[in-house]
Structure 1
């Protein structure tokens, strides 16, 4: 498990590392959206749609991002170097 720093702002938790990474990698963001929508298909499962969950940094959103990061690592070709996040 990797350490990801969190920032507390105005009573909500935001994950700056994942959020900045998502802004710079649209494919990763779309993978996270696909995972989010597959795992949380309706408001019975998650309170917010993907865009709102991203804005608020909900646990469901963070889980979808972690899933997208894990999938990206699994799908990378042997010897392919993964890009480091830009902060």
Structure 2
């Protein structure tokens, strides 16, 4: 699924890298965490999906005609 949505994957990577910036936080890189579907990876994906939904709602609101 993530492989088919490059923007969602990029958002998940950005969240993962921000939350787990070094080996102290996670021993795996984003690609490795993705390969093994770690809990950290799944949390980053959930965060990216939540952010996508928030941005979609904002965009829809901005597209409404001004009265």
Match runs of 1:1-87 below 5 Å: 21-76=1-56, 77-78=59-60
RMSD: 1.0
Gaps of 5+ in 2: 62-67
Larger Rg: 2
Give the Å deviation of 1:47. Answer: 1.7
Structure number with the higher strand fraction is 1
Aligned length: 59
TM-score (normalised: structure 1):
0.65
Structure number with the higher helix fraction is 2
Gaps of 5+ in 1: 1-20, 80-87
* Structure 1 runs, 4 residues or longer, greater than 3 Å off: none
